[in-house]
Amino acid sequence: MAMCAALRCVSANFSAALPLLTRPAHIWTCQNSLRPNVLRTLYTSSRLSGALKFTDKHEWVRVEGSVGTVGISNFAQEALGDVVYCGLPEVGTKLEQMEEFGALESVKAASELYSPLTGEVTEINTNLTDNPGLVNKACYADGECSCVSLIKLKSHNTVRGCGIC
């Protein structure tokens, strides 16, 4: 009972003293809270940044053994909009690093694809020729939605200009 009376007294005095405050109230943020940071880190880094390397032109490469799978980043596909055409190289095409090897056209713009690796195209995703909109649906997914081309790597080949965007 005494506690309730004390709280009523404090709240009445606080509302009377409120106009007398001369400095603005400090807004406290929850920057020290680990929960949002932990959830974001687990979502973004474990799956994408560990397996993929990104170029400054927004292509990505996933290297498994001596084969690299190439695709475009989520940022690039969002900037392009709905993709309506996907031009890919033929199997057996020899590519140099940062050489143009294909093109994507959308309702908004057109964009060239640049090879992040030196090598030879061993496989292309033929599903993208028939349905180029797959690029927009899952640009990082394994297989049919994102595999633009597979490139056989030369020994000691490095991915120049690659890092996490």
- In whole angstroms, give the CA distance from residue 6 to residue 43: 47
pLDDT value for 132: 87
State the DSSP string of 63-107: EETTEEEEEE-HHHHHHH-SEEEEE-PPTT-EE-TT-EEEEEEES
Contact 101, 93 (CB under 8 A): yes
Cβ neighbours of residue 133 under 8 Å, at least 6 residues apart? 82, 83, 84
Q: What is the mean pLDDT of the chain?
A: 69
**Cβ-Cβ contacts under 8 Å for 108 (sequence gap 6 or more):** 79, 80, 81
CB 157 within 8 A of CB 109: no
Per-residue pLDDT reduced to its tens digit, 133-162: 888 887 776 433 344 455 666 543 455 544
Best CATH choice for the domain 55-153 from the list 3.30.465.10, 2.60.120.200, 1.10.3720.10, 2.40.50.100: 2.40.50.100
Put simply, whether the predicted model's pTM sits higher than 0.75 gets the answer no
CA distance 96 to 114: 9
What are the pLDDT digits (tens) for 35-53? 444 433 333 444 555 578 8
Residue by residue, DSSP assigns the chain as -HHHHHHHHHHHHHHHHGGG--SPPPPP--TT-SHHHHHHHHHHIIIIITT-EE-TTSEEEEEETTEEEEEE-HHHHHHH-SEEEEE-PPTT-EE-TT-EEEEEEESS-EEEEE-SS-EEEEEE-THHHH-TTHHHH-TTSSGGGT--EEEEEPTT---TT-B--
What is the per-residue pLDDT across 71-104, written as a single tens digit (0 to 9) for each? 888 888 889 999 999 998 888 888 888 899 889 9
